[in-house]
Chains A and B, each alone.
Chain A
Amino acid sequence: MKLTNSKSTHNNWFLLKPKLIGMLVFLFFCIIFSLILSQQYHIAKKAKNDTMFASLQAIHKSIEQSLKNNYADALTLALTINDKGIPEHFEAVGKKMLATDPNIDAVQLVPNGIIRYTYPLKGNEAAIGINILASKKYRYEALKAIQTRKMYFAGPFELKQGGLGILGRLAIYKNNQFWGFSAVIIRLSTLLNKPEIEKIDQSKFFFQFSKINPITQKEKFFLNTNDKFDPKNAVTSFIPDGDWKLYLVDKKPNELILPFILRSLLALTLASLIGFLITSFFKKPAELEILLSKQAEELLKNEIKFKSIFDQAALGITYVDSLSGKFSEVNKKFCELLGYTTEESKLMDLETITHPDDIEQSFIFLEKLYKDEIREYTMEKRYISKSGKTIWVNITVSPLWKIGETPSNHIVIIEDISKRKKTDKIIIDSQQRIESLINTVDGIVWECDAKTLEFTFISKKVEDILGYTSEEWINTPNFWANHIYPKDKEISLKYCAEQTALKSNHVFEYRMIAKDGSIVWLRDIVNVIIQNDEAKNLRGIMIDVTKNKQIEKDLNNSFNLVSEQNKRLLNFSYIVSHNLRSHTSNISSIVDLIDSSDSEEEKEEMIQLLKSVSDSLNETMLNLNEIVHIQTNVDLVTEKLNLKQYLDNTLTILSDQIELKGINIISSIENNIEVNYNPAYLESILYNLISNAIRYSHLERHPTINIDCYVENKKTVLKVSDNGIGIDLNKNGHKIFGMYKKFSTHKDSKGIGLFITKNQIDAMGGNITVESEPNLGTTFKVYIS
C-alpha cells in the first residue's frame, strides 16, 4: 500500500485567490480602457483644434487678401504723385477709389509725414496739417511703415466718424527718396466683414481680434470685449501687417470632457463587471479546491487509519485479485494465522491454502459473488497453514466492485474459529450424551415456556408412551393442552397455572389421549425455572402411571371391599356388644334379683321376666343368623324375575294391613320388566320397604305409596316412596340402615328390616339410598345392577 502525496495545489495558489485575480483583471481593464479613452479624447481634441485652425486660417487669408487690396489702393493713390512730388487728380482718384471699394472710408496722402491730402475732406478737416512723424501717437506706427517698406496698418482706433477703423500706411519713395505716406482708412467692421467669419458656428466658437499696443505692449481686444477667454482654449494667427492677432476661441472647451467622463465611468463599470465575473468564475474552483484539499487530507487520515486497522486488526484481512485468486495484500494477522511471510503469502492463492474438502463450496460462493448474485458471504471453512495444520476459520467476503462492474478485487476477513470449533465439538458431544441420557429415562422429559405453554423440547420417549412424535408435539400449538383427557383438562391447566404463579415445583396426575385413542395416565413432575424473579420455563418429566393407576384402582376397590367388610364386622361386633350384651346383662341382673328376692312371688315375677329376655335373645339370635347367612352367602343364585309378579305377591301378603290403613298403592311397574335377582331377597326387599311405608304412614293424611321402576346409568332403579311421617336424616341419616336402629316408638319397630334389606342389596352388588323429610315422606331407591 502506497501513500500518495496529493499536495499539488501549491502551483495553483493563484487560483486560490479569486479576489486578487478579480482585482488584477479590473486594473488591467482600467488601464486598457483609460488608454483607449485618452487616445480618443486626444484625437477628438486634435480634430477640433484642426477645424478651428483651418477656420482661422481661412479668416486670416481673407483678411490678408483685403489688406493686399488696400495695398493696391494705396499704391494706386501713390501713383497720383507726379515726378515733382505733387499729387495729381488726387480727389478724382480718391473719389473713384471710394466709389469702387466700399471698404475704404477715406484716403490720404501724407507728404513728409504731414497730412496734406485727404479724401473726402469733409469730416476729416481736423487731420489736415498733422505731422504724424512728430505726433507721439502716430510716430511709432508711421516709422514702422517706413522700416518695413511695406504697407503697415495702424489701429484700430476710434474713427472721427465713429466706429473703429484701421489706417494702412504705405511709405512712398520718389527717386529713392522718402516722399511721404499713402494712407487708406478702412473701417474695422468692413475689414472683418468676411464670409469666413460669418461661417463660424457661433454656438461653439467666437472670433477675436487683438493688437498689442506697441508702446504699452498691452494686448487690446476689439471684439466682444465682454467675453473673457483662456488663450489655451483658442487658436491664434498673427498678421504682421498690423501686428494683429486673430483668435478663434472655443466656447465649449469642456464639451469633450463629459463624454470622456461618461465613457470612463462606463469603462470602469465594465472593468468592475469583468473583475467581478472573473472573481466569481474563479471562486467556485477555489472553493472546490479547498474542499478537495480538505477531503484529500481526510482521505489521507482515513487511509492511515485504515492502514493501521488493516495491519493491527485481530482478524486476518486480505485483498484478493478476483481474477487470479492471488493475495495482493495481506495483514499481520493473516501471516500469523497461516505461518507465511507477507512475501510468501503474495505468491499463494485461495486454492492453495484452502482445505481440499472446502474448495468446491468456496468456488460456489465466489461464483455467485462474481455474478453479483450475492453482495457478501460468510462461510466456515478450513485453511491449511504453512506447517500443514488445519485451521478452522470463519471468512467474510465482500467484493470491491460495484454491481455490473467486472470483478476486480475482493476483501476477505478471516476469523480463527479453531478454538470455538473445538468447544463446539465438546458441546455437541455433551449434548448428544445428555440427549441419549434423556432418551433412556423412562418418562417424557420436556421443557416449555411458562407463560405460553409452548413446548421447546420433548424427549423421544413421547413416541413410546403416547405415540406422538417430538416434532408434531413441538410444532403444533397447544398440543399438550389439546390432548389432555377432556375431563382432566380444566383442572390440570388450572393447577399447573396456579403452581407456576406461585413459582412452586409441583407434581400432578392427569390423563392424556394417546395417538391410538387410548387413555394414558401421566404423573407430571414439574420444575419451575425462575429467571429474574419470574417463572420463565417449566421443565419436567411425564411418567406413565397407567399401570399404577390400574393397580391403585384395584387397590382402592379392595380397600373399599375391606372397609365395607370391616364396617360389617364392626356392626357385627356392635350387635354382639350391644344387642347380645343387653340381654346378658338383663339376665345377670334378673339372676341377682332372684337371689336376693324375699318372696316366692317376686321370684316368680323375675322368672317370667327371664323368660321374656330369653325370647328376645332368641329372636336376636335368629336375626343374627339371617344376617350372617346373607353376609356369608357368596354364591347367591340369581334368576330372571318378573318384577311386577313379585310386587303383586308382596302386596297380597300385606293386603290386610293396606286395607286396614286404607293405603293407596300406585304402581307404574309394567308386566314385562325383568330383573336378575335372588328370588328370596327380592321378596324380602319388597316386603320390608312396603311394610315400612305402611307402618310409618302419616295419621293425619291419606296414605299413598308410589312404586316405580326406571333405568338410570345402566342400572335398574326400584323406587318406593310414601307420604308418611319421614325421618330426620340430618340426625339419623348415618344410622338408618344400622341394626336395631329404630326411629320411632312404633310398637312394631324392631330396627332390623332396613338392616337386612341393605345387607341383601349389598350382597347382590347394588345399593340403596334414602331421601326423607320429617312429616313429608320417605323415598327409598334400590339400585339393581
Chain B
Amino acid sequence: MIEKTIWVVDDDPIYQIIMKKIILKSTIFSSAYSFSNGKEAINSLKQIITKNEKLPDIILLDIEMPILDGWGFMEEIAVINNPTNPKIYISSSSIAIEDKERAKNNPDILGYMCKPIKLDDLIKIASV
C-alpha cells in the first residue's frame, strides 16, 4: 500500500487530536499535518510548491475558521492553480444545505464530509 500524506485544517484543537488518532489507526497515511486555519495551511502549501517538495495527497478542510476560512482557502488554491493539487475534502460540522451546495459547485472540492469523520470515511477517500 502506498503511503499517503494528509493535512487536517481545523481550528478545533480537540478535533485535531481526534483526527490524529484516527489517521494513526488507519495506517493509510505515512504522515499527517494539522493547521488551525486556512492561512497557515495555504502558507505551507506555497512553501512546498516553491521548494518543489511533495504536496499532500489529501486535505481535510473545515469551513468555519478564524483568519482564513475554508472558502477563503479554496479561493487561494484556485489562484495557485497547481496541476498536481491535493484532493480536497470538506469536513465540517455544518449540515447547512447551502454549504453542501457551495462545495458541490466548486470543482476543486472532491467531497463534503460531515463530522464526525470515521475511519471508514478516511479509507474511502484514500482509496479514490
Chain A: residues with CB nearer than 8 A to chain B? 574, 577-578, 581-582, 585-586, 588-590, 592-593, 596, 609, 612-613, 616, 731, 740-745, 749, 751
Contacts and interface: CB of A to CB of B under 8 A. Distances in A.
A612 B14 CA distance: 8
Contacts of B12: 582, 586
B66 A586 contact: no
A574 B96 contact: yes
A593 B20 CA distance: 11
B36 interface: yes
B125 to A, nearest CB: 16
A589 B18 contact: yes
Contacts, number: 67
A582 B93 contact: yes
Contact of A590 (B18, B92, B93, B96): B18
Interface string B95-118: 110000000000000000011111
B64 A740 contact: yes
Given A578-B94, A585-B15, A745-B37, 17 more contacts: A577-B93, A577-B94, A577-B95, A577-B96, A582-B15, A582-B115, A585-B116, A586-B116, A588-B116, A589-B18, A589-B115, A589-B117, A741-B66, A742-B11, A744-B66, A744-B67, A749-B66
Contacts of B95: 577, 581
B93 A581 contact: yes
B66 A742 contact: yes
Given A582-B15, A609-B17, A745 B67 contact: yes
Contact of A585 (B25, B37, B93): B93
Contacts of A743: 66-67
Q: Nearest 8 A-B pairs (CB), nearest first?
A: A585-B115, A585-B116, A742-B66, A582-B93, A581-B93, A589-B116, A588-B116, A589-B18
Contacts of A585: 15, 93, 114-116
Interface residues of B, number: 26
Contact of A596 (B25, B66, B67): B25
Nearest to A588: B116
20 contacts: A574-B96, A577-B95, A578-B92, A578-B93, A582-B93, A582-B115, A585-B15, A586-B12, A586-B116, A589-B15, A589-B22, A589-B118, A590-B18, A593-B18, A596-B25, A609-B14, A609-B18, A742-B66, A744-B67, A745-B36
Interface string B6-43: 00000110110110011001000000000011000000
A327 B14 CA distance: 126
A592 B118 CA distance: 9
DSSP class of A's interface residues: helix, strand, loop or mixed? Answer: helix
A578 B96 CA distance: 9
A618 to B, nearest CB: 14
Contacts of A741: 66
Interface of B: 11-12, 14-15, 17-18, 21-22, 25, 36-37, 64, 66-67, 72, 92-96, 114-119
Contacts of B66: 741-745, 749, 751
Residue in B18, B117, B119 whose Cβ sees the most chain A Cβ within 10 Å: B18
Contacts of A582: 12, 15, 93, 115
Contacts of A745: 36-37, 66-67
Contacts of A589: 15, 18, 22, 115-118
A586 B14 contact: yes
B31 to A, nearest CB: 20
Nearest to B40: A745
A593 B21 contact: yes
B93 A731 contact: no
Contact of A586 (B15, B36, B92): B15
A347 to B, nearest CB: 105
A585 B14 CA distance: 11
Contacts of B117: 589
A578 B64 contact: yes
A598 to B, nearest CB: 9
Contacts of B25: 593, 596
A590 B115 CA distance: 12
B22 A593 contact: yes
A596 B117 CA distance: 15
B14 A613 contact: yes
A592 B37 CA distance: 26
Residue in A574, A593, A743, A751 whose Cβ sees the most chain B Cβ within 10 Å: A593
Contacts of B37: 745
Residue in B92, B116, B118, B119 whose Cβ sees the most chain A Cβ within 10 Å: B116
Contacts of A609: 14, 17-18
Residue in A574, A578, A593, A744 whose Cβ sees the most chain B Cβ within 10 Å: A578
A503 B36 CA distance: 62
A292 to B, nearest CB: 111
A586 B92 CA distance: 12
B23 to A, nearest CB: 12
Nearest to A593: B21
